[in-house]
Structure 1
């Protein structure tokens, strides 16, 4: 067999994941039986050979889809953040490293088998200590974090035991003399275990609660050590007498004292190692998996794609017209029920099907964002179901949607709905059909995610709201915090260090300053900052209540104030509330009263942006002189604030941006994360002409969701990124700046003494490392 082993890690960061040595050990065991193995990683597809291919997913925090066309096996060695039952059912075999979870799966009608984690006895064995003695009374290897408090380890320390610790996050948590290092490779880890009398095992709480005994226990036993683990629900094996489960309570001290009292002989340690090798080796696991895979190949059991043309069914009965819609509001029918109903009609009639397409840009006002996404996903699924069965129809007519009204909140599935409709209007071409498979797969993932249809496992702990969760399910991205492939912080660090200009050569530039102030107490801050604007300008301020407007007017008496709905944050206030005023100005400055109550590390973000964009009189003159002498300069943004460097990518906003861009430039492709440049924080100087495509969108309050404190995944966050995209699509360039006194990222500074130096830097790509 050709066994393709899929991991949750990316190829670029796999060395930091414990799954990688785990997979290598399993592959080596397969090789002992003559099976070829290849590893593939997150965001990759296996390279199938066409010769007895089998896919084995080793699942950790993210549950991936099966690969269509071949047998798929899943080995869940730790719980994913979300596990839809329908997705699990698409696997041809389920192996779970938790007996308790196996029982829950069986109760849900899933055919699951218990397969605990394993140890590689070639690496982990009593001889791994080499010439060193068994001189470590108690050891622990693992990181400390809020979600991994390691209570058993800390309890042992509190009881006075000398625990030697390797791992990150322990500094300041335990006395320094217990800390021995932060990271061990496999050989070093085996040596520590082989030198230890007792190895502590402390799981992530949710792993222990869900019954997953991790491989730390088996690795340490294979080296001959006694193991004391926190209790793992449902795990018990009388053949492992050296594995003790004990909590952080009163029994821990006596247990450790008892285990440390004798000096175990080499034979006793060998017996401990033999007990785990007998039932927990990778050879045992490879045997079980290979036998199952062979059976699946013989039965031709394969995963099915989300969309594929179905063979024609015999036409029976009389010719009957039937009208279907892609979006039936108020209809609670699932895709499966819709397909069942359609198949029943096909079995009884020769169908003349008319598929009426709805307006994908309209969302009923009563729907929230997540229900609107599900409504659109249902429409995509219905389109796929109809087109897949077209060979069984006597005739198929697809009616184009009405003109796009563009009413209702803009969400992440709108563009998918558009694309599925375009394919339905030309269903006979291979290109159109190829589009539908990934669209239907995305829709299916989203529709399968309600909590009542998922195995209740560990949930993401990074504060995702339901819309962000839905978007990550749609896009098959992990719920845990992660950085996109190819993205680099260094791109955001590249910036121009400003230098003074005593005066403007001419003052005929018309300057408009646009500020959105949700927090009226910040008006005084802006009044002080505007003191450096020693030139004529007009000030426009938006806020969301008349009371706030009065308070702001007292601090900024020259401002033109407009009250706008509390939708879309500062983006709505400036692009919609003052869309008409931009036409009166050559250069505009966009600012807003940024506070970030969700993250204390962002407290100084506003000060940073204002310091970069309004540093002092002479450096503001320099910014404006750059616009005058560089006709292709469209935007000057602040150097990206250090606390958000890791978030300066599309995040959960790419699909929302696709829909907005379709309304501006449907021919334009969005750049990948590694080439995305935008003013992070939505504050910038810009040439008004560079913003015109966004100003002409005709956005309304209904296009933005109700304000609930969202931190990402809204049209406002998407437009923040589109500021840079639209600027560059119009033939303009964007640069980031910091004041002359800045000491940040000095190695990434571009130092100039003339505007001509900046021109050359732009032409030679110095702003695009």
Structure 2
């Protein structure tokens, strides 16, 4: 059963299950760029059932030679050389394009390597977790195909493991790519629910798909010249926009996107995720007074509400100079780049709080175009509202 929001759409699949399934027309496409770690990726591809057509693309002649020799036993495995431009995204949209017209379901994979040594372990973890959650075993692949036989589901993306220094799969990873992703979707004539406050659901350009779900992307007519030459910029390119666009293209075609992971992966992942969440919640609670999961999920809406309220007023005061008030000050600074005029707190009048003057309510009553944002503990909020309303102030905003 699929949830109503992207965060609900996660499936754990059995990696050991033996599934008897009609494979329809299925293909696995892999782009291999680096000789480092090649053995691991080759062994992963060996898990693909021989009923599935495998296409391996590379810009490295030595890799092509090695891989051809290893998979010579497979009658339906093809190895092709491609130009060294555009890497995995050009391989997907230019060199492997016809596969997405000839086959019903396609998996696309590629290798990864960090630019800096300090990130080597994390990038390896990133790449291998994505491969594991796409083709970890023959039984798992059978389960994936069973899921894709559901006509509502068009895209399956792998859950990314948590590293020490790379957490791209567990934060709002638009980077410098929100605007160029919106522009790309406009060029593709795709209508979607894309919004900057909701992180991209796909990262890393690895997935399983019902090829009908991504038809608009492949119909566009990409050429290798559309992609950057080496060395590739770290962010903000058309490739980075394409990496994030898949769920929105699928949505436009009427399909849902789901994140998948193997049961063997989950056993390792849950422990890391729990530790990560505990540490993260402690930090955001202290800094921004975001304590509960609900507060996290609603945080983007809270920012939008604050921004709209601030725009309507010439000056803003925070009611409450305690922990909640300080946390709100941090939110305004960090997320809206906004500095309020001061605090209101009857118990601390005349003092300073984080460089801001603390006033009494009477001090601000005669000011024009004043907005007051209440940021106190829940048990005091009704009392503060009553105080403001008795003073004739009804246009206030209460943030818990």
Cα pair 1:653 1:718 within 8 Å, conserved: yes
Alpha carbons of 1:584 and 1:522: their partners in 2 closer, same or farther (altered >3 Å)? farther
Aligned equivalent of 1:55: none
Cα pair 1:588 1:688 within 8 Å, conserved: yes
Aligned equivalent of 2:241: 718
Alpha carbons of 1:554 and 1:500: their partners in 2 closer, same or farther (altered >3 Å)? closer
Aligned equivalent of 2:24: 509
Q: In 2, distance between residues paired with 1:543 and 1:681?
A: 18
| 1:648-688 per-position Cα deviation (integer Å, ceiling 9, x unaligned) | 532211232233223311x6356113334432211111111
1:735 aligned to 2:253?
no
Asked which structure has the greater RCO (Cα within 8 Å, sep 6+), the reply is 2
1:652 aligned to 2:167?
no
Aligned equivalent of 2:127: 606
For residue 534 of structure 1, give the secondary structure of its aligned residue in structure 2: coil
Q: What is the number of equivalent residue pairs in this alignment?
A: 260
Q: In 1, distance between residues paired with 2:217 and 2:141?
A: 25
Aligned equivalent of 1:536: 51
TM-score computed with the length of structure 1 as normaliser: 0.32
**Structure 1 runs of 4+ with >4 Å offset:** 490-494, 746-749
Cα pair 2:180 2:241 within 8 Å, conserved: yes
Aligned equivalent of 1:634: 154
Aligned equivalent of 1:675: 198
1:515 deviation in Å? 0.8
Q: In 2, distance between residues paired with 1:677 and 1:657?
A: 10
Alpha carbons of 1:613 and 1:733: their partners in 2 closer, same or farther (altered >3 Å)? same
Please state which structure has a larger fraction of its residues in helix.
2
Cα pair 1:585 1:688 within 8 Å, conserved: yes
Aligned equivalent of 2:95: 577
TM-score computed with the length of structure 2 as normaliser: 0.58
For residue 260 of structure 2, give the secondary structure of its aligned residue in structure 1: strand
Q: Considering only CA atoms, is the larger Rg found in Structure 1 or Structure 2? A: 1
1:564 deviation in Å? 2.2
Q: In 2, distance between residues paired with 1:717 and 1:625?
A: 30
1:573 deviation in Å? 0.6
Aligned equivalent of 2:288: none
Q: In 1, distance between residues paired with 2:39 and 2:53?
A: 17
Q: In 1, distance between residues paired with 2:272 and 2:58?
A: 40
| 1:232-261 per-position Cα deviation (integer Å, ceiling 9, x unaligned) | xxxxxxxxxxxxxxxxxxxxxxxxxxxxxx
Cα pair 1:504 1:621 within 8 Å, conserved: yes
| 1:471-515 per-position Cα deviation (integer Å, ceiling 9, x unaligned) | xxxxxxxxxxxxxxxxxxx97696322135744443241111111
Q: In 1, distance between residues paired with 2:7 and 2:89?
A: 22
Cα pair 1:523 1:552 within 8 Å, conserved: no
For residue 686 of structure 1, give the secondary structure of its aligned residue in structure 2: strand
Q: Which of residues 57, 61, 66 is equivalent to 1:546?
A: 61
Cα pair 2:106 2:209 within 8 Å, conserved: yes
1:523 deviation in Å? 4.0
Q: Which of residues 98, 110, 113 is equivalent to 1:595?
A: 113
1:690 aligned to 2:213?
yes
For residue 532 of structure 1, give the secondary structure of its aligned residue in structure 2: coil
Alpha carbons of 1:586 and 1:491: their partners in 2 closer, same or farther (altered >3 Å)? closer
Cα pair 1:494 1:748 within 8 Å, conserved: no
| 1:550-586 per-position Cα deviation (integer Å, ceiling 9, x unaligned) | 2332233343223222222201012111111221211
1:621 aligned to 2:136?
no
Q: In 1, distance between residues paired with 2:50 and 2:19?
A: 9
Cα pair 2:42 2:67 within 8 Å, conserved: no
Aligned equivalent of 1:563: 81
Q: In 1, distance between residues paired with 2:113 and 2:222?
A: 24
Alpha carbons of 1:550 and 1:499: their partners in 2 closer, same or farther (altered >3 Å)? closer
